[in-house]
Structure formats: structure tokens, C-alpha cells
A and B are shown apart, each in its own frame.
Chain A
């Protein structure tokens, strides 16, 4: 069975641009969460979606937004990119909101 898939794997953007990252959960999983992992640090929670509704939001500015589609895939959008947004963005899926999460391998975003 396929695991959590994220696209693209790598992305280079410049300051001020907009980016969209995509995530396909494991088949049957209805919850998707997004995390930001800065190099050398632990992942930091950004959003959780379950059944297409936002269930939680971390301490990130409004430039960050997300949504979940009827097929449970998800997008993370970041506007007005800053140098500090350079990080590995991880998507995790789970069957429910209190079940083990499975992470994808992330999208490496570099801001020039």
C-alpha cells in the first residue's frame, strides 16, 4: 500500500512569492496534519484537518492556510514567502484524530 505522498519533493522560491504544497494521505485515512521542520529542529504543528474541516491550528501567521478536499487530499498554501519559511514541510495522515500518524517524506522548500 502507498504511504503518504507529498509533492513536489523540492521547491525553490523567492521572497514574496506564493507556494502550494500537496499531500495525498494513506488510503482510508481521513485526517491530515501539516508540520514545518526547520533544519536541525523538531517538527512544529501548523494545521490539522479532519473530514474537510479544520480541527487545529498552530502558532503560524495568517500567511499560512490549508484545505482538505473530498478525497481527503490536502493543500498547504503560504503567501508572501519570507526567508524564514525555508524548511521541510511534512504531511501526516491518520484514520481519525486520535490514531497514530504516518508521515510523508516532506517537501523541501528553499526561499532565495
Chain B
């Protein structure tokens, strides 16, 4: 049973544009929502994470928006750059723990 659904599967954005990736979860007990970036041949790297007590968190060009009532959260990448081209994964866990349930991933391509 997929508990975290991610969309879109792939995304093409022009340089300087905004990339938006969405995730929806089913388990209302989830209380930690990180986003990971993965380049080919590399392991996932933590980008930014949010707890459900806040609706938005920003770190540099990356922003998480969180909607607890809708059980949805999204990643916004502002001023997208070709170097941002990678696969992005949302995830969720219980008790802010490290047993993560990942979404299926979004392959982002930023065109110069």
C-alpha cells in the first residue's frame, strides 16, 4: 500500500522558472515530512524538512508548503537552475523518526 503519493512523475521547467512537486499522504499519524534530492549514481541528499505545526518552511530557493487538513505537502524550487536537474523524493515518518516512507519520485529537468 502506497502511503505517500507523489506527482508529477516528471517535470520540465525553463531556467529561472518555478518547479512545483506535490505529495499526498494517507496516514494522519505522520509527523515529519522531508524532501530528498538524488542525482544519478548517488544516494538521496536531504534538502529540507517540515513538521506539521508549521504551514511553510523556506531554505534558500527551496520552500515546503504544508496543508494538514488536505494531507498534502509540496516542494517549490524558485529560480530553477540546470544544476537542480535531479530526481526529487518526498517522504514521511511517524514520531519524527527515521523509518521513512518515500513517494515514487519526480524527475526534474531544468532547461537552460
- The 8 Å CB contact of A103, one of B43, B49, B96, is B43
One of B14-22, B63-71, B73-81, B101-109 at the interface? B101-109
Query: Given the known A-B contacts A42-B89, A45-B99, are A101 and B41 also in contact in the complex, defined by CB atoms under 8 Å?
Result: no
Partner of A4, one of B41, B43, B105: B43
Task: Determine if A105 is an interface residue (Cβ-Cβ < 8 Å).
Answer: yes
Q: Tell me if A44 counts as interface (CB < 8 A to partner B).
A: yes
Q: How far is the CB of A24 from chain B (nearest CB, A)?
A: 14
**A-B pairs with beta carbons under 8 A, tally:** 60
Q: How large is the interface on B (under 10, 10 to 19, 20 to 34, 35 or more residues)?
A: 20 to 34
Q: Tell me if A25 is interfacial: C-beta within 8 Å of chain B.
A: no
Q: Are A43 and B44 in contact (CB under 8 A)?
A: yes
Q: Any chain A CB within 8 A of the CB of B61?
A: no
With contact pairs A4-B43, A42-B89 given, residues A33 and B104 touching in the complex (Cβ less than 8 Å): no
In angstroms, how far is the closest chain B Cβ from the Cβ of A28? 16
A45 to chain B, nearest CB (A): 5
Instruction: Knowing A41-B105, A43-B89, A100-B49 are in contact, say whether A31-B98 is a contact too (CB < 8 A).
Output: yes
* A-B contacts besides A31-B98, A44-B102, 11 pairs, CB < 8 Å: A41-B104, A42-B6, A48-B99, A55-B99, A58-B99, A92-B43, A103-B43, A103-B44, A103-B45, A105-B41, A105-B43
List B residues at the A interface (Cβ < 8 Å).
Answer: 4, 6, 34, 36, 41-46, 49, 89, 91, 95-105
A sample of 25 cross-chain residue pairs with beta-carbon separation below 8 angstroms, ordered by A number, consists of A31-B98, A33-B98, A35-B100, A41-B105, A42-B103, A42-B104, A43-B44, A43-B102, A45-B99, A45-B100, A45-B101, A48-B98, A55-B99, A56-B97, A56-B99, A90-B44, A92-B43, A97-B98, A98-B95, A100-B46, A101-B46, A102-B46, A103-B44, A105-B41, A106-B43
